[in-house]
Amino acid sequence: MFDHSQVDADLLILGAGPAGLAAAQYGSRANLKVLAIEQMSPGGQALLIDKLENYPGDLNPRSGFDFAEDMRRQAENFGAKIIGDGVLSLEKTGSLFSAVLDSGRTLRAYAVILATGASHRSLGIPGEAEFAGRGVSYCASCDGPFFKGKKILVVGGGDAACDEARYLSLLTDKVILAHRRDAFRAQKGVAQRVLENPRIEVRFNTRPVEIRGDKQVTAVLLEDSAAKKQYEEPADAVFIFAGTVPQIGFIPAAWTQGAFTDKAGYIITDQRMESAIPGLFAAGDVRASPFRQVVVAAAEGAIAAHCAAEYIDSLKA
């Protein structure tokens, strides 16, 4: 039997992006005591979206910030509590999870949903952070439609960069794909389709040095390593696909072996969003998934909360 006095919440949600906020809402509606921990502002990557126009049922485009605020208020209205803090470590003793926060506080719960997301690998060049959401993007399907007919620079050489460049070429015939190496890292079939696409100009041995503009992106300073020269290239948008990093640094190393994560470090789950650790669920960008969108993250958060509630009920039975 559990000593319920030692439990701070039924369900602990780590991360309060769209997946975490949806999980918080559905967990609270299932009559669970829910605590969500978010180091930054609630909303996660959605906060970077200038205009969210493809969320089903929401006809009027609005900022990711406004969308996230509505999700936060909705979750809190159902009873969820959001705590501003970071997570240092997560452990499981018996059937209870313990999360140690940056503040030194320890929270215990019957189940945990990991919704910490994944951070985009940034280039770390001047102008990248300044123009984020104003011409600099990390998601073609999110922001590409805003640049129909415009000149777009895509940065990267993997599968994601090639796939997104092809998607953007459906919106404009002015796509430049810059890769710092002399060949793509992408799968051969994916790379070949890019090379054969007349709407995409591929520039190997090329990397961005600086992103320039006023209120919006207007140009990019590029460096040709083969020719050993720099030049300014006019551009209306820069889409960066240098990879992402799942935010699981607080997870015990022993858990990340075997079937817990894939080769890239993303958490593997079943269709119930449950990981190889019983009672530990994952949703959103931190989860191994073929498609990362706000609507997908929200749906996964709802599933995770529903299944976590069933798991918790089984413990209490």
* DSSP-derived secondary structure letter, 166: H
Instruction: Order the strands of the 175-178 sheet from edge to edge.
Output: 136-137, 237-240, 152-155, 175-178, 200-203
Can you name the residues that pair with 62 across neighbouring β-strands?
Answer: 52
Cα 52 to Cα 65: distance, rounded to the nearest angstrom: 9
Out of 143, 162, 285, 307, the active site residue is 143
> Strand pairing partners for 177?
154, 202
C-beta of residue 99 within 8 angstroms of C-beta of residue 89: yes
Looking at 10, 139, 162, 307, which residue is catalytic? Answer: 139
**Residue 116 has which token pair?**
């910490």
Strand, coil or helix: what is 208?
A: strand
> Are 42 and 82 contacting, i.e. CB atoms less than 8 angstroms apart?
yes
Tracing tokens 């079943």 back to the chain, one arrives at: 270
State the Cα–Cα distance between residues 147 and 220, nearest whole angstrom: 16
Q: Determine whether 285 is an active site residue.
A: no
307 has catalytic annotation: no
Q: Is 143 annotated as catalytic?
A: yes
Residue 313 per-residue DSSP state = H
If one counts every other C-beta atom within 10 angstroms of the C-beta of residue 190, the result is: 16
Measured CA to CA, the distance from residue 287 to residue 63 in angstroms comes to 25
Check 10, 50, 142, 236 and give the catalytic one.
Answer: 142
Q: Which residues are catalytic?
A: 139, 142-143
